[in-house]
């Protein structure tokens, strides 16, 4: 089969996977595969249902369906309440969406242990989204929209370090690198690490996987093989 045709098929399959909620939910209910982790941040959860909800988040983000994204993020927290990463994803939705009360409620839940990693990350994010830092984040978005990726990368390195320590910002950072030809290989390596990073949420890991595979398929088709 031609490489370009195969590319379209694979990408269509990835999109379909994110949107095929009804059938995936039936599968989750029918065959509750269980994931067990030794980490204290996780509890046993039905893998199929968790993956379906992650797909729903990404599907909603791609289409700008805020209500669906919000619902899926909340259900991920309910499904796996011990995961700080699921709650941080919900916090990162709630605060920019103007859901201040919910964001504060999530922050308090993460700060039941004030010295915990979840509390520190929640506090860092809320500081970034307020005051002078909020203006910097708005500027980042404007630069990205304008396609000024070198400037986005430089500003992210000033704010978060090189590379950012947290997986949530690493994903955005490596996505910017993908627009700089000389740094594509580094970006792919970074995305590959995120795909299996236990300190990343399911949404971050899945997005990293989709980005990495999309770019690799584009690289193959650049050879012009039909």
Q: Please, what are the averages of pLDDT over each run of 10 residues along the chain (226 residues)?
A: 46 45 38 34 60 93 93 93 93 93 95 92 90 82 90 90 90 93 92 93 94 80 43
Residue 224 corresponds to which tokens in the numbers above?
């012009």
**Farthest CA pair distance, the chain:** 57
Per-residue model confidence (pLDDT) at position 130: 82
Per-residue model confidence (pLDDT) at position 46: 61
Per-residue model confidence (pLDDT) at position 47: 67
Measured distance CA(81)–CA(84) in Å, rounded: 8
Per-residue pLDDT of 175-200, as tens digits, reads 999 998 989 999 999 999 999 999 99
> Got the DSSP string for 68-123?
HHHHHHHHHHHH-TT-HHHHHHHHHHHTTTT-HHHHHHHHHHHTSSTTSHHHHHHH
Measured distance CA(216)–CA(212) in Å, rounded: 6
Helix (H, G, I), strand (E, B) or coil at 27: helix
Per-residue model confidence (pLDDT) at position 162: 86
Per-residue model confidence (pLDDT) at position 216: 82
Give the residue carrying structure tokens 């950012």. Answer: 164
Measured distance CA(209)–CA(214) in Å, rounded: 8
Per-residue model confidence (pLDDT) at position 135: 82
Q: Which of 96, 89, 26 is nearest to 58 (CA)?
A: 89
DSSP state of 46: E
């Amino acid at each position: 089969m031609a490489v370009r045709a195969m590319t379209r098929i694979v990408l269509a399959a990835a999109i379909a996977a994110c949107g095929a909620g009804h059938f995936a939910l039936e599968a989750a209910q029918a065959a509750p595969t269980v994931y067990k982790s030794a980490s204290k941040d996780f509890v046993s959860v039905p893998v199929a249902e968790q993956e379906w909800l992650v797909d729903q988040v990404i599907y909603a983000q791609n289409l700008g369906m805020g209500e669906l994204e919000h619902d899926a993020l909340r259900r991920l927290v309910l499904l796996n309440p011990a995961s700080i990463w699921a709650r941080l994803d919900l916090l990162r939705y709630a605060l920019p969406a103007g859901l201040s009360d919910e964001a504060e409620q999530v922050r308090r839940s993460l700060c039941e242990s004030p010295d915990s990693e979840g509390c520190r990350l929640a506090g860092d994010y809320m500081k970034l989204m307020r005051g002078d830092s909020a203006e910097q984040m708005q500027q980042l978005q404007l630069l990205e929209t304008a396609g000024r990726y070198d400037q986005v990368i430089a500003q992210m390195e000033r704010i978060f370090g090189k590379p950012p320590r947290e997986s949530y910002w690493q994903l955005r950072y490596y996505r910017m690198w993908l627009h700089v030809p000389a740094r594509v290989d580094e970006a792919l390596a970074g995305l590959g690490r995120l795909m299996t990073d236990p300190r990343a949420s399911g949404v971050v890991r899945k997005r990293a996987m989709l980005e990495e595979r999309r770019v690799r398929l584009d690289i193959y088709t650049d050879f012009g093989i039909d």
